[in-house]
Structure 1
């Protein structure tokens, strides 16, 4: 969804919020601006107990989309945590994309139907994804 578009968001349908990067280099400030735009456009329209799934992606100058984070389940009460988590993922993966011109940040998201009685957010922090050799022992 572009910032200028307002529409009724329905559960189980995926939407995309796009933020255009002005200098083709993605910084933490860009992520902050994108999240705040998403919050002001989407989150502020939701109730406190409405959950959504969200994934952080980037688009390169060649129109290639790359996924940066894992899927997060969150409500508007945890929106500040979302910024922190997405910045952590970007710090981990930014070296992989140093040679690319990044033109857009995409947040793919969908609402979770309230009838499922979800009672908490599920934040997948980047430190949970680090290499753990003890898990590979036979």
Structure 2
């Protein structure tokens, strides 16, 4: 986040700023891991969501629900292969056209980022294509 702008999307794929090997190696390793069917992927928002602060209590509560398998995951609107943990006060406004457009724009930014990577950190075409597929589903 720059200058407190909570609307700015930051893409930071590296946990280690001194990365000495290509991002594509991580991509392949994670793809293999997920294809094994022995792991799941969760994305936690620890900043702001739709103008509301995601507090540490919300984040920690979400982690606890995931670990204890007590959280209720529901389909993420028109994206059938994605679900989210329902959190009171953080409802997802799928009926709001502006929200759907924002989702599409954020996904486009990610696609542009993937396509802009230099040869050393390039990802397979399927990475951008899978995101473009999500954009298409949101546009329906």
TM-score, normalised relative to structure 2: 0.30
Higher strand share: 1
Higher helix share: 2
Question: Relative CO higher for 1 or 2, CA cutoff 8 Å, sep ≥ 6?
Answer: 1
Which one has a bigger Cα radius of gyration? Answer: 2
TM-score, normalised relative to structure 1: 0.30
